[in-house]
Amino acid sequence: MKQIFLLFLLISRFAFTQGPGLEEMLSSFFKQFLKGEEGEEHSSFTSTSHTIDLPSGPFSYKAITGLLPQYLDDGQLMGQLFFTAYLKEEGDESRPISFIFDGGPGGSSMAMHIGGFGPRRLLLPEEGQKPLPPYRMIDNAETILDLSDLIFIDPVGTGYSEAEKPAYKRGCFGVEGDLSSFTEFTRMFCIYFNRWNSPKYLIGASYGSSRAIGLAESLTNVGISISGVALLSTAFDYHFLVHQRDLPFSNWLNIPSFAASSWYHKRTMQDKTLEEVLSLARRFAYEEYAPIMLQPSRLSAREQQRFYQSFADLIGLPLETVLRLRGRIDERTFTTEFFAADRKVLGGIDARYVGDVSSIYSEYCEDPSYLDLRSAFYPAFLNYLQLELETKKESKYITFSGEAFTHWDWATYDNPGLPSFLQRLRRTLVASPHMKVFIGSGYYDLRTPFAAMEYSIDHLELPDSYRKNFQIEYYPAGHGFIFNLPSLKKFKQDLRKFYEP
């Protein structure tokens, strides 16, 4: 009963901050935990023990899968989030803990889980993985489990996570509702596993990077300090990522990635290294493209011809295409026009990939990125859950929720239009000046181009003393650079530096 009493104190302090509904919340907690006191395991959790051979030696850990409840301010159950936790055996509360999630919005944690972060991962195509089963899972020597305990989280409507009512579900399909849900999950995890005193890290990819920035601010505001955020394929400000009529920001900031992709496919500047190509492309984007796009009608016909020819030569598109679109080249145009004569399409998520056009019409083309790996994720992950983690559910595991993506509310409390998370990052760093920020970008990512990240960081306008907080790394791959083995190996070493005290 001593444990129950201590738990009562923790819950009481937690519930006190939540407003009304104290009795209902305490009652729900005691129903769950008193059952454990009687010797019965928590009905939602499954625990298995494992050992992996890492370069540093054997590493023993336990894997816990389950559903954590989420409560509204009035104490009503809102829903449950499915998670997988990897915890070091014999670990203590001072060990770092990392909360990991993917993007979308509407994506589960599956790709991050078995794509490179967890202790077990999919064999990659370059290692012999085939598009058709049987699929192989292998021990992941590049896991960061030796650096931190890992918690993979599925948002409401994805994985096995669910809301109690349709209205609650819709409330989570938006920037602010999603952040509230993840804030609640973090608090609940600290209660269930007594991790209040652990250094906490947030790791998010794509839209998950936006979530990580917002979540760091939200947790800081409720008194939970974050030691660091790791942002992969970062989406800081959506004004720089979404093509907008008459606003050339996204076109301008994709130019270095276009140039890198053209170089990769051996169409342009083969006498130069990738680094030299990127340097030229950055200079062209900032010194020529941006000034001209601000006042294009002031150019003479000869100046226009010279500019468009230089642009076409840099990114590898036909001059006729660049002239027709007046230099406004977005991701879709670049990927469909680059090999249009061959009826091929480039990947937008990873421009190293080339695929066949899936329609005789021009309104839709399937993105061929990771086509050699995509089909393996779902069956391999469910097989892993059932056989190795002993988690078998009859309900469908939702890898990606089209409902969440389609109905997502992008409005935020500080921006009613396209969201920007720069101000949230500024506020969090000022409130927590020791928080580290890791940023990883792929050169061939056209969805969240690295130049947009660089522009955002350049405009944070924080004092120079904050520069030491940032670690920025680049990878010769695309949006999912962890699916590229050399990049995954580099990423592990980069994160080793990030986790250093």
What are the tens digits of pLDDT across the range 72-113? 888 899 999 999 999 999 888 889 999 999 999 999 999 999
pTM tops 0.95, yes or no = no
Higher per-residue pLDDT: 75 or 489: 489
* Confidence bin at 247 (pLDDT 50/70/90): confident
pLDDT of res. 41:
41
**Per-residue pLDDT averaged across 170-174, rounded?**
94
Query: Does the pLDDT at position 40 exceed 90?
Result: no
Query: Does the pLDDT at position 374 exceed 50?
Result: yes
Residue found under tokens 């000034």 = 291
* Confidence bin at 13 (pLDDT 50/70/90): very low
pLDDT of res. 363:
57
List the chain domain ranges: 1-40, 44-239+377-499, 248-356
pLDDT of res. 362:
60
Query: Does the pLDDT at position 208 exceed 80?
Result: yes
pLDDT of res. 6:
38
**Per-residue pLDDT averaged across 464-481, rounded?**
97
Query: Does the pLDDT at position 11 exceed 60?
Result: no
Query: Does the pLDDT at position 348 exceed 70?
Result: yes
For residue range 228-244, what is the model confidence (pLDDT) as tens digits? 999 999 999 998 888 77
* Confidence bin at 416 (pLDDT 50/70/90): confident
Query: Does the pLDDT at position 32 exceed 80?
Result: no
* Confidence bin at 160 (pLDDT 50/70/90): very high
| Torsion of Cα atoms, 167 then 168 then 174 then 179, to 10° | 170
pLDDT of res. 73:
85
479 close to 442: Cβ distance less than 8 angstroms: yes
How far is 8 from 291, CA to CA, in rounded Å?
63
For residue range 308-330, what is the model confidence (pLDDT) as tens digits? 999 999 999 999 999 999 999 99
For residue range 382-409, what is the model confidence (pLDDT) as tens digits? 999 999 999 999 999 999 999 999 999 9
pLDDT of res. 239:
87
For residue range 267-289, what is the model confidence (pLDDT) as tens digits? 999 999 999 999 999 999 999 99
For residue range 130-141, what is the model confidence (pLDDT) as tens digits? 989 999 999 999
Q: Tell me what the pLDDT averaged over the chain comes to.
A: 90
pLDDT of res. 358:
78
Higher per-residue pLDDT: 499 or 131: 499
Query: Does the pLDDT at position 58 exceed 50?
Result: yes
**Per-residue pLDDT averaged across 181-187, rounded?**
96
Higher per-residue pLDDT: 48 or 9: 48
CA gyration radius, the chain: 24
The H or E element that residue 110 is part of is helix 110-112
* Residues 6+ positions from 55 with CB-CB distance below 8 Å: 141
217 close to 424: Cβ distance less than 8 angstroms: yes
For 44-239+377-499, give the CATH class.
Answer: alpha beta
Least confident of 35-39, 135-139, 497-501: 35-39
Query: Does the pLDDT at position 193 exceed 60?
Result: yes
How far is 102 from 82, CA to CA, in rounded Å?
14
Query: Does the pLDDT at position 18 exceed 60?
Result: no
Q: For residue 174, give both structure tokens.
A: 């938006």
Query: With b meaning 16 or more CB within 10 Å and e meaning fewer, what string describes 56-87?
Result: eeebebebbbbbbbbbbeebebbbbbbbbbbb
pLDDT of res. 42:
54
How far is 100 from 104, CA to CA, in rounded Å?
14
